[in-house]
Amino acid sequence: MQSGRAGHAGVSKHTDRISSLSVFVDTHAAASSPEAQSLYAFRKDEHARKVYLSGREYLNERGQPYVSPFIGKIKKRISADPTLGFHTVPSSFGLAEFIHRATEAALGNNSNAIVENRVLGVQTVGFTGAVRLGAELLRHWYNGDSAWQGPVYLSSPCDESLAAVFQAAGMPDVRRYRYWDAGRRGVCVDQLLEDLETAPERSVVVLSASAHCPTGADLSREHWALITRLMMRRQLFPFLLLPAQGLCHGELERDAWPVQYCQSLGMELLCAQSFSHCFGLYGEHVGHLLCVLKQSSVLLAVRSQTEKLINALWAQPPVGGARIIATVISNPAHRAEWQEEVWQMAARCLLVRERLREKLRLLGTPGCWDHLTQQTGLYCCTGLNVEQVEYLSKRKHVYLLPNGCLNVSAVNSCNLDYVAESLHEALSSPLS
């Protein structure tokens, strides 16, 4: 009997030892993104003149995330109105008025697709949520083929998180098409068309409608005519992105022209929108997924399957930010006041580009810098290589992404001269 008790004690000790180990004991740390590495290095840097140019938010002249005074007033009004409480639980698809206004912001007020009732809009948890929901919808129902897993084509370069979003949705076959020509410092349309020409039929092609991240280099209307003609001929499906709608030209609808153009050609498409930048709602996660169909007869089926996917992802989106946006856009007086702020944001980005280009010209910096003002929106690709970017961070304490791209709004009147002089030194130094 004692031997039995000793045996049980040994088993108990062994069990205790096993249970003390985490089930995640073999988990490996994920590799940091280039943006995260840049931010970490910046925070460790104790230099007085350090400058961080790798962020995603629109920053004001003081280098802080922009907080709209007008949007602040709207928040207070909504909070004080007992009929518009933030406790309201929306449907799975989100706030109906927000969806209506977001759809119009992408397709315009006179869209044939809207009139013909072949459009589905869904409020999402931010821009990434819109991309993920679109990816899930394609993965499960693209051409009714449950075995479809791609390929999905992304621009090179692009937002590095995009590939991970599609892969997490069950699409391992993520490929790249050439987009940025570092030598010419612009979009390489011929190479882009070559890559799409060889893409398998039914491939999904992710295209930036405006504010291309991270280069700021957008396709012209002539480029869109060429690309859409090829895509229709090759039966490629467009997934359009509006990550910073409104910040290119200061108008929601104008930035969305490529979406309107594609639907006017009768193309089916998905479009992911973000309203965080133009409304300064970075903590609200307000995104929108737009699905334009060819026939209204499939709308109810697509809607039901989309709802099923939503319930598996987040059930209901947060209502606060969406209510603010719907309140502003649906009221002509509110919209005019907010529109003025957006114009000022877009104009400031353009002014920064012009001042930076002129400063580099006066310094005699090698190369032509006209591409700075030819790009639009929040992001800019300088054309610097990896060694030059590393020189900037180590010698000048100026932090860009490894591909030489930066956030234009992070340059302000306090650091403009220093940033320009640092760029000049990085390009002129034999050590770079």
Say whether both 256 and 384 belong to one domain. no
User: Mean pLDDT over residues 342-361, rounded?
Assistant: 96
pTM over cut 0.85: yes
* Beta carbons of 187 and 207 less than 8 angstroms apart: no
Q: Are residues 164 and 258 in the same domain?
A: yes
Are 249 and 318 in a shared domain?
A: yes
What six digits make up the tokens of 260? 């309107």
Dihedral angle sign, alpha carbons of residues 152, 158, 159, 164: positive
Q: Which domain holds residue 419?
A: 32-67+347-428
List helix spans (H) across 170-220: 189-197
- 216 & 253 share domain: yes
Asked which of 330, 356, 389 is the last residue of a domain, the reply is 330
Asked if residue 147 has pLDDT above 70, the reply is no
If you ran DSSP here, which 8-state letter would residue 294 be given?
A: S
Q: Are 41 and 125 contained in the same domain?
A: no
- ∠ CA 106-109-114, nearest 5°, is 75
Q: Binning pLDDT at 50, 70 and 90, where does residue 160 land?
A: confident
- How many structural domains is the chain composed of? 2
Residue 8: enclosing H or E segment and its boundaries?
Answer: helix 2-19
Residues 115 and 206 in one domain: yes
Is residue 2, in this structure, part of any structural domain at all? no
In a domain, 149, yes or no: yes
CATH no. for residue 222? 3.40.640.10
CATH of the domain at 379: 3.90.1150.10
Q: How many helices (H) and strands (E) does the chain have?
A: 18, 13
Shared-domain flag, residues 108 and 206:
yes
The per-residue pLDDT for 5 is 55
- Region 422-429 average pLDDT: 92
* CB contact at 8 A, 218 and 376: yes
User: What mean pLDDT do residues 322-332 have?
Assistant: 95
Mean pLDDT estimate for the chain: 91
The answer to whether the CB of 377 falls within 8 A of the CB of 313 is no
User: Looking at the structure, do residues 219 and 265 belong to the same domain, yes or no?
Assistant: yes
Residue at 82 is within a domain: no
Measured between alpha carbons, how far is 372 from 349 in angstroms, rounded to an integer?
11
Residue 353 lies in a domain: yes
Domain's final residue, options 272, 299, 330: 330
User: How confident is residue 9, by pLDDT bands cut at 50, 70 and 90?
Assistant: low
* 54-80 residue pLDDT tens: 999 999 999 999 988 999 999 998 888
pLDDT at 146: 62
Alpha-carbon distance of 415 to 352, in angstroms, equals 11
Within a domain: 249: yes
- Are residues 236 and 93 part of one domain? yes
Q: Establish if 15 belongs to a structural domain.
A: no
pLDDT of residue 25: 85
Q: Do 215 and 112 belong to one domain?
A: yes
Q: Which residues make beta-bridge pairs with 238? A: 205
Residue 374, C-beta contacts closer than 8 angstroms, at least 6 positions apart? 186, 217
- Clarify whether residues 107 and 62 are in a common domain: no
